[in-house]
Amino acid sequence: MSGTMTLDELADNFSLFDDWEDRYRYIIDLGKKMTPLPDSAKVQANKVEGCISQVWLTSQIEGTGAQAVLTFQADSDAHIVRGLLAILLILFSGKTAQQIAAIDADHELAKLDLDQHISPNRRNGVASVVRVIQGTARRLLAA
């Protein structure tokens, strides 16, 4: 999912839509393109707390320390949330621990103007996922 598109490219794609209804459909389509997590990964240990919807996040780590590359997979029981997770995977997955820890997610996501168009509960959920992702990266940096 994250392999080819950057957040800047996603922002460019967003700009092609005249209204937020079309952008929501695009976000949902991004979520539909994600590989679903197997049921075996939808366990409490992978659940992200702080989300209204069910959200699961797994990570695969290749390497060690600051140069370890983290690849994330995520899933949700809500279509729009799956799309938001797809956006977060575009932002974070496939990067080194050092790069992930340095990302200002609020600044990057502001390029999409999402904060003005998703509910406070969804914003809190996005922030929870970001905390888990960056926490994983920071633990690698501290090891």
Residue found under tokens 């490219």 = 9
CB 133 within 8 A of CB 72: yes
In Å, how far from its chain's centre is CA 6?
A: 12
For residue 51, indicate whether it is catalytic: yes
Contacts of 31 (CB under 8 A, 6+ apart): 76, 79, 80, 81, 82, 83, 84, 85, 86
CB 88 within 8 A of CB 74: yes
Residue found under tokens 């989300």 = 51
In the set 7, 27, 51, 89, the catalytic residue is 51
Quote the DSSP letter at residue 35: P
Q: How far apart are CA 50 and CA 124, in angstroms?
A: 7
The set of catalytic residues is: 51
